[in-house]
Amino acid sequence: VVAEDEAAATIVEAPAETVAAAPAQSWRLTVVSSDPAPRVRFPRLRRADFGDLGGTATKFDANVHAIEVLVKLESEQRQTDAAERLALTRYTGWGCQPAAFNLAGKDAAWTNRASRLHSLLDEDDYTSAKASINNSHYTPLHVIEAMWAAVTRLGFNGGRVLEPAAGIGHFIGAMPEELAERCRITAVEIDRLSGRVLQALYGPTGAAVHIAPFEKTSFPN
């Protein structure tokens, strides 16, 4: 089943050994047996956590806070606590925020923000984040929830899940609990910052995270 939005496509696939044979022309999934191996559960995303992310300045501040938390976690080589996890999930990316990278702009407030961001990131992270301005748009949580509801109605009840443009993992974090316990997740993200947030949020719970262009990433058959 393929579910697409402006920034990501999430692909779910039932385990080959549990899917009944179907005509070659049919793409629809049959009902599959659940994977008996228990999965480590991550806290499910809540709409209330994103309710106040309404303006570019607010999103900028949330992004910077998330980056600061990420750097701290990586330097201390540990997993998130509840407050840190919330801060990371509120990272919205840099879609439609060119002012955040305009160091010579006429708006003094945004020039100061751009300088702060520039000083916070190393060259590789800064270049990667700047390159994401045109295509880093995260899907609203209510849309993701509706898409998972559709996938469930189509008959998917566990198996392999591939997220080839994962951002920070909202499609993973909003999975219904009964699915998350039965799925093996592979997530790919091209942007370095988003990929590292993705790893911090979902890597410890078993998601296989690849920070690379999807077309250059190799997967087992």
Closest by CA to 1, choosing from 76, 80, 9, 44, is 9
> pTM for this one?
0.80
Measured distance between the N- and C-terminal CA atoms of the chain, rounded to whole angstroms: 17
Closest by CA to 166, choosing from 150, 145, 144, 190, is 190
Question: What is the helix (H) or strand (E) element at residue 125, kind and residue range?
Answer: helix 123-131
Lookup: tokens for 26: 């049919």
Give the 3-state secondary structure of residue 143: helix
Mean pLDDT of 78-83: 95
3-state secondary structure 27-42: CCCCCCCCCCCCCCCC
Question: By percentage, how much of the chain surpasses pLDDT 70?
Answer: 82
3-state secondary structure 58-88: HHHHHHHHHHHHHHHHHHHCCCCCHHHHHHH
Task: Give the pLDDT confidence of 185-202 residue by residue, as tens digits.
Answer: 999 999 999 999 999 999
